[in-house]
Amino acid sequence: MNTMTLRLAKPLTLRRIQAAAFAAMIAFFAIAPLFIYPVYLMKVMCFALFACAFNLLIGFCGLLSFGHAMFFGVAGYATAHAAKVWGLTPELAVLFGMACAGALGFGTGLLAIRRQGIYFAMITLALAQMVYFFVLQAPFTGGENGLQAVPRGRLFGLVDLNQPAALYAFVFAIFVAGFFAVWRIVHSPFGQVLKAIRENEPRAISLGYEVNRHKLLAFVLSATLAGAAGSAKVLVFQLAALPDAHWSMSGEVVLMTLLGGLGTLLGPVVGAAVIVMMHNYLAHLDAWVMTIQGVIFAVCVLAFRRGLIGEFSHRIGRPL
C-alpha cells in the first residue's frame, strides 16, 4: 500500500515542481515591468516564444531547422502589411501573420521532411535564404527600409495598444498562450509520438505511425508559433525589417535554445532572456558580439550540452 502511494506520488510531485516553475516564470513576467524596462521584457517574451516554437522541433522531434527566421520574418511582414495597409485590428493582424507563417511552414515542411538530419538543416537554411531574397525584392515589403511606423491599432477595436500597459498585456497574453500551447503539444499523445520519432524513427514507423504526417504537423505548429512571436515583435517595435528574416536570426534562435537547454520547456525562455540581455549590454562591442556568440556555441556544444535549465533539471532530477 505504501509503495503504491509512493509510486503514484512521484509523478504528482514531478508535475507540481514543473507547475511551480512555470508559475514562477509567469509571475516574473507579470510583475517584472514594475522594475525592468517593459520594452526590453516584451522583446524577451517575443524571442522566448520564438525559441519555444523552435524547440518544439529540435527538442521534441529531433529536427534541427536552420531556417526558422523565415517564419518569424514573414509573419512580421504579414502583420505589418495587414495593420498598416488593410487597417486590421492588432489581434486580426497577428492571426494573419500566424496564418502566413503556418502556410509557409506547410510548403517548406513538405519539402524539408523528405530528408533527415543534417540535410534537413541545409534544406531549411536554403529555403529560408530563398524567402529572404523574396522579401528583399517583393514590391510590398519596402526592401531595405522594411515596413516602418506600423500602427498598433485598437485591440478588438476597443483598447488602444499605444498605451504601454495594454501593449504589455497583449504581448504577455500571446507569450503565455504560446508557451502553454507548446506545453500542451508536448504532453499530448501527439507529442509522445514526436518523442518516439526523435528516439527511434524506424521503430516508430514499424509501430504503424505515419511519421511524415506527424513531422509535418509539428513543423507547421512550430512555424505558426514562431509566426506569433514575429507578429508580436512587429507590433512592439512598429517595424518589420530584413534582419528578422536573415539567416543570422535563424542561428540566433538555435543559440538561445541550445544555451537554455534543448528539449526543456523553460530552457528556451531562459536562453532567450540571456541572449537578449547580452545584445543589450554588449551592443557597444559591435561585431565582437558575433564572436562571443560563436564562443557560446562552441562552449555549449563541447562542455555544456544540456544547457542552463537542462543542467539544473538534471541536478534536481526533474524535467522542467
Partner 1 sequence: MEVFGVPSQALFGQLLIGLINGSFYALLSLGLAIIFGLLRIINFAHGAQYMFGAFVAYLLLNKAGIGYWWALLLAPLGVGAVGAAAERFMISRLYRIDHLYSLMLTFGLGLIVQGVFLSEYGSSGQPYPMPTQLAGGHNLGFMFLPNYRVWVIGLSIAVCLSAWFLIERTRLGGYLRAATENPTLVQAFGINVPRLLTLTYGAGAGLAALAGVMAAPIYQVGPLMGTEMIIVVFAVVVIGGMGSIMGSILAGFGLGVVEGLTKVFYPEAASTVVFMMMALVILVRPNGLFGTRS
Nearer to partner 1, 13 or 248 (CB): 248
Site for partner 1 in 81-140 (CB under 8 A): 111, 114-115, 117-119, 121-123, 125-127, 129-130, 133-134, 137
Alpha helices in 138-246 (DSSP H): 164-187, 189-199, 201-206, 211-237
Instruction: Give me the least distance between CB of 274 and partner 1, in Å please.
Output: 16
- CA torsion angle for 193, 194, 200, 202 (degrees, to 10)? 70
The pattern of x and - marking residues 209 through 248 that bind partner 1 according to CB under 8 A reads: --------------------------------------x-
Instruction: Give me the least distance between CB of 298 and partner 1, in Å please.
Output: 5
Which parts of the chain are beta strand (E)? 154-155, 159-160
CA distance to 16, 113, 148, 188, 201, per residue, from 105 (Å): 34, 11, 25, 21, 22
Q: Is the dihedral of CA 144, 65, 21, 313 positive or negative?
A: negative
Instruction: Give me the least distance between CB of 282 and partner 1, in Å please.
Output: 12
Site for partner 1 in 15-74 (CB under 8 A): 58, 62, 64
Phi-psi bin for 149: left (phi > 0), alpha (psi -120 to 50), beta? Answer: left
Q: Which of 42, 147, 240, 254 binds partner 1 (CB under 8 A)?
A: 254
Q: Are 146 and 240 in contact, with CB atoms under 8 Å apart?
A: yes
Quick check: 305 binds partner 1 (CB under 8 A)?
yes
Q: Which of 105, 251, 260, 271 binds partner 1 (CB under 8 A)?
A: 251
Q: Which of 3, 287, 315, 316 binds partner 1 (CB under 8 A)?
A: 287
Element containing residue 94 per DSSP (H, E): helix 90-112
In the three-class reduction of DSSP (H, G, I as helix; E, B as strand; rest coil), residue 147 is classed as: strand
Instruction: Give me the least distance between CB of 273 and partner 1, in Å please.
Output: 20
Task: Give the cell for residue 80.
Answer: 505589418
Residue whose C-alpha is closest to residue 42's, from 232, 245, 227? 232
Q: From CA 218, how far away is CA 73, in angstroms rounded? A: 19
Quick check: 78 binds partner 1 (CB under 8 A)?
no
Instruction: Give me the least distance between CB of 126 and partner 1, in Å please.
Output: 4
Instruction: Give me the least distance between CB of 79 and partner 1, in Å please.
Output: 24
Nearer to partner 1, 183 or 247 (CB): 247
Note the residues at the interface with partner 1 (CB under 8 A): 58, 62, 64, 111, 114-115, 117-119, 121-123, 125-127, 129-130, 133-134, 137, 247, 251, 254, 258, 285-298, 300-302, 305
